[in-house]
Amino acid sequence: MKKLIDKYGRIHDYLRISVTDRCNLRCVYCMPEEGMEFEPSDRILTYEEITEVVSAIAKIGVRKLRLTGGEPLVRKEIEKLIRMLSAVEGIEDIALTTNGMYLEKKAELLKEAGVTRINISLDSLQADRFAMITRGGDLSRVLRGLNAAVRAGFQPIKLNVVLMKGINDDEIADFIRLSIEKPLQIRFIEYMPIGHDDNGWRERYVPLQTIFNTVESMGLTYEKAEHVYGNGPAENFRIPGAGGTFGLIHPVSEHFCDNCNRLRLTADGNIKPCLYWDDEWNVRPLIGNEALIQDLFMRVLDAKPENHEMAKALSQETQSHTPTVRRMSQIGG
């Protein structure tokens, strides 16, 4: 039987699915304030097409899914897709990443449909700053969505914080305190050069060693957090006695490519073996033929590079492949 194992011996059991390239916000690290061109609706995979792709690759080892966007909750009746994916034999875990703006109304529906875990993007705990970073987001709505996710019984709940120099790096201590007070997984993420053709991201880049420096300046100690469910690429820590944890996702300063277990399916049907490089293959023409879908995923996996070389982008060194020009919202993260 075919198995999704690449030439470096990495087993791939995880598919990230972008269900839309549209979003109700315009986060500064994700897409431009204006001028973004979205895919017409007839180029976006239908729920039936997504389910057929998942059904095919579940038979060769995919067990975990994550629904992303854009913002997945802007997709009409997203819970319908989740129910369809939950019924696919072999799928054991369905997670969802959201900006939280619609989560208050959707949390119970998502849980009932089969979502097991929720990630919420939350880059500031200050209302004015949050509105600036997201270009219009309402922090109070996101916090109500977070509370709704807690009431619905999601566990764990992760908060994704993209650190940006001079923008929100002065809130590290506030997020650390939140990890002490609440049973949340705070995940600090390095700013990545996805879809950026200027130096803006370099100027805002914050190495995650800053987190440890901040914890020590608070007079606190930290320890490794073991057995964190669904930890993915995060390196997890806990303040002794804390209700939650804090994690570091450092794709630039210390890539985790050696353990990469994921592939990506974009909203317009392209399979990406790596978030950073521009290589992608469209699966849509093969839908209807399970064997050809599986063969394409195997070919994509064979083309997957050993690592993404984002550190070279930071230091402006020559890279071995061509970086993607797609924005994060078009790939799904």
pLDDT digits (tens, 9 = 90+) for 1-32: 688 999 999 999 999 999 999 999 998 888 77
List the domain range (segments joined by +) for residue 22: 14-331
Per DSSP, 39 falls in state: P
In a domain, 6, yes or no: no
Instruction: Render each residue's pLDDT in the chain as its tens digit; 333 residues.
Output: 688 999 999 999 999 999 999 999 998 888 778 877 888 999 999 999 999 999 999 999 999 999 999 999 999 999 999 999 999 999 999 999 999 999 999 999 999 999 999 999 999 999 999 999 999 999 999 999 999 999 999 998 999 999 999 999 999 999 999 999 999 999 999 886 665 555 666 788 888 889 999 999 999 999 999 877 654 677 899 999 999 999 998 655 555 577 888 899 999 999 998 876 678 899 999 999 999 999 999 999 998 887 755 544 444 555 556 666 566 666 766
Residue 200, token pair as written in the block: 């803006």
Give 174's contacts (C-beta < 8 A, 6+ positions apart): 125
The candidate with the shortest Cα–Cα distance to 154, out of 116, 199, 208, is 116
Per DSSP, 11 falls in state: B
List, for residues 138-193, the tens digit of each pLDDT value.
999 999 999 999 999 999 899 999 999 999 999 999 999 999 999 999 999 988 66
In a domain, 1, yes or no: no
In a domain, 2, yes or no: no
CATH code, domain with 117: 3.20.20.70
Give 166's contacts (C-beta < 8 A, 6+ positions apart): 204
In a domain, 101, yes or no: yes
Q: Do residues 21 and 39 make contact, with C-beta atoms less than 8 angstroms apart?
A: yes
In a domain, 3, yes or no: no
In a domain, 145, yes or no: yes
How many domains is the chain built from? 1
In a domain, 308, yes or no: yes
